[in-house]
């Protein structure tokens, strides 16, 4: 089954223009056409319905040999006229003359990958975007009806339909479609005789599908979290065992591991060497560009290489590295299909303005053998069940992260008990053998994985994590 399409020819037309002007050397052009639909809520009332907002543009990259290395130039424009394309070429060529990248030569793919279809598009939303968006928001608003003391203070749901085209100097032409759903809701709890200030629980989510089937159960959870925030106590400072579910890990692992396991980190001497221990023995990690309905799933990356499942870490030891064309060229190895234009933390609804770089698609952390949340709490014994961090500030260069505990729960005698709020949790995600880090300190893993934007992962039990008190 083929993907839905706008029939855009954005990159192909630009490539034809470049060939007619006899653009020399190695180049590629990424074209994108996108439509965005939005519904904004003020409480449960629709404050604004907007769409389609349309954008179409190209990103041009030229690669030129300079002093035994490569000069790289990139320019992007939403003006697709011949004059604008000529200016983009001039700008890219100018940048290439003065930049240096430590690869003597790279080869761009000459043909589109011969791969089967992947599940990466919400076809129903593509066929009827505004109707699908309205149906989702109706279900969301209806889930708050009849509740007392808890309301949505604001919210927004965005749906983007995007089609990319890719062409290069080697003769490649490739087309791909995608859908992107952004949801943001703030839920506020108030009232009661105790006179406490309102509690608020924020939800920010990114996915490829507008799926209303779980909205009511999600809203039930959000409302309970907002109520718990009102009565939460401060955590105790010091080293503690922390149980971390996928929704919290998704704010930490993708940004840091995507860089630290990439050719960009290897070039800087920051990537682990093959066989080096970077996690506890149960930890195995893959990069999977074919995982159904994951945000990073596609038939090919943004340079035209086929997607696959690549094992990066096995039994806690580093095995492989993620490469795009350039960083593969620097290491004299082929691209692994990880030339991507995404921003992992906050996915952009348009990507043509970003040059490709080595980046994970969907990181998959293998599961363990602990079946239920209750059993995970029993393994922890005493500690914290973390539900949500304030922004975790994942730093790819240092491998560090740290954020405020927006809501969590005390684990006492193996049971999940009172809610906690305030203080901080942080540390390193990756460290050397024997050094303290999140991955090195995993002592148990759940048996069920949950798919987040760029992460499929079970709940992890991590011992001796640094917890700062609210004071």
Confidence of residue 195 (pLDDT cuts 50, 70, 90): low
Predicted confidence (pLDDT) at residue 198 exceeds the cutoff of 90: no
Report CA torsion sign: 249, 402, 379, 383.
negative
Give the orientation angle of helix 82-98 with respect to helix 10-20, to 10 degrees: 70
Please compute the mean of the pLDDT values over residues 299-327 and round it to a whole number. 96
**What is the spatial distance between Cα 160 and Cα 130, in angstroms, rounded to a whole number?**
11
CA distances from residue 241 to 34, 425, 464 in whole angstroms, order as listed: 45, 11, 5
**What is the spatial distance between Cα 104 and Cα 11, in angstroms, rounded to a whole number?**
27
Confidence of residue 197 (pLDDT cuts 50, 70, 90): confident
Contact 322, 309 (CB under 8 A): no
Exposed, middle or buried by CB within 10 Å (0-12, 13-18, 19+), for 108?
buried
Predicted confidence (pLDDT) at residue 471 exceeds the cutoff of 80: no
Contact 387, 419 (CB under 8 A): no
Cα–Cα–Cα angle for 310, 2, 341, rounded to 5 degrees:
45
Nearest alpha carbon to residue 314 among 398, 447, 439, 449: 439
Confidence of residue 3 (pLDDT cuts 50, 70, 90): confident
| Residue 133 in tokens | 């968006």
What is the tens place of the pLDDT at every residue in 77-86?
A: 999 999 999 9
- Topology adopted by domain 10-231: PmbA/TldD fold (3.30.2290)
pLDDT at 347: 85
pLDDT at 11: 97
Predicted confidence (pLDDT) at residue 1 exceeds the cutoff of 70: no
**What is the spatial distance between Cα 443 and Cα 10, in angstroms, rounded to a whole number?**
50
Nearest alpha carbon to residue 230 among 468, 408, 419: 419
**What is the spatial distance between Cα 271 and Cα 123, in angstroms, rounded to a whole number?**
39
DSSP letters, 73-98, are EEEEES--SHHHHHHHHHHHHHHHHH
Beta bridge partners of 465: 240
Predicted confidence (pLDDT) at residue 391 exceeds the cutoff of 60: yes
Predicted confidence (pLDDT) at residue 187 exceeds the cutoff of 70: yes
What is the tens place of the pLDDT at every residue in 137-166?
A: 999 999 999 999 999 999 999 999 999 999
What is the tens place of the pLDDT at every residue in 37-80?
A: 999 999 999 999 999 999 999 999 999 999 999 999 999 999 99
Predicted confidence (pLDDT) at residue 422 exceeds the cutoff of 90: yes
Contact 179, 38 (CB under 8 A): no
Residue span(s) of the chain under CATH 3.30.2290.10 come to: 10-231
What is the tens place of the pLDDT at every residue in 306-319?
A: 999 999 999 999 99
Predicted confidence (pLDDT) at residue 124 exceeds the cutoff of 80: yes
pLDDT at 137: 97
């Amino acid at each position: 089954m083929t993907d839905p399409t706008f029939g855009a020819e954005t990159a192909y037309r630009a490539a034809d223009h470049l060939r007619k002007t006899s653009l020399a050397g190695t180049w590629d052009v990424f074209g994108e056409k996108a439509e965005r639909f939005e519904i904004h809520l003020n409480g449960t009332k629709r404050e604004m319905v907007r769409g389609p907002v349309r954008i179409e543009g190209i990103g041009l990259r030229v690669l030129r040999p300079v002093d035994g290395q490569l000069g790289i130039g990139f320019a992007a424009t939403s003006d697709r006229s011949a004059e604008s394309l000529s200016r983009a070429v001039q700008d890219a060529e100018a940048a290439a003359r003065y930049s240096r990248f430590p690869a003597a030569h790279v080869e761009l793919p000459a043909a589109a990958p011969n791969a089967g279809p992947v599940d990466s598009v919400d076809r129903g939303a593509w066929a009827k975007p505004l109707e699908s968006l309205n149906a989702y928001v109706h279900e969301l608003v209806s889930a708050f009806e009849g509740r007392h003391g808890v309301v949505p203070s604001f919210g927004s749901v965005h749906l983007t339909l995007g089609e990319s085209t890719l062409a290069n100097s080697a003769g490649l032409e490739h087309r791909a479609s995608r859908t992107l759903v952004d949801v943001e809701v703030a839920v506020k709890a108030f009232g009661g005789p105790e006179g406490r200030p309102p509690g608020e629980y924020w939800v920010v989510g990114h996915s490829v599908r507008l799926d209303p089937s779980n909205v009511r159960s999600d809203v039930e959870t959000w409302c309970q979290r907002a109520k718990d925030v009102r009565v939460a106590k401060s955590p105790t400072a010091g080293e503690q065992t922390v149980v971390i579910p996928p929704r919290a890990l998704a704010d930490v692992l993708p940004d840091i591991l995507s860089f630290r396991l990439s050719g960009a980190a290897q070039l800087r001497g920051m990537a682990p060497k093959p066989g080096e221990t970077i996690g506890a023995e149960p930890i195995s990690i893959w990069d999977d560009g074919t995982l159904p309905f994951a945000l990073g799933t596609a038939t090919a990356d943004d340079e035209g290489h086929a997607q696959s499942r690549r094992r990066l870490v096995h039994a806690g030891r580093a095995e492989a590295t993620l490469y795009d064309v350039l960083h593969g060229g620097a290491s004299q190895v082929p691209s692994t299909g990880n030339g991507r234009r995404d921003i992992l933390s906050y996915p952009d609804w348009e990507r043509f303005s970003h040059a490709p770089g080595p980046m994970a698609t969907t990181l998959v952390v293998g599961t363990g053998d602990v079946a239920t949340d209750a059993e995970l709490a029993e393994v922890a014994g005493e500690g914290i069940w973390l539900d949500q961090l304030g922004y975790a500030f994942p730093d790819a260069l240092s491998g560090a992260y740290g954020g405020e505990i927006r809501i969590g729960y005390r684990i006492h005698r193996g049971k999940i008990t009172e809610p906690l709020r305030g203080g901080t949790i942080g540390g390193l995600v990756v460290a050397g053998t024997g050094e303290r880090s999140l991955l090195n300190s995993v002592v148990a893993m759940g048996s069920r994985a949950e798919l987040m934007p760029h992460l499929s992962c079970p709940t992890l039990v991590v011992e001796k994590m640094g917890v700062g008190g609210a004071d």
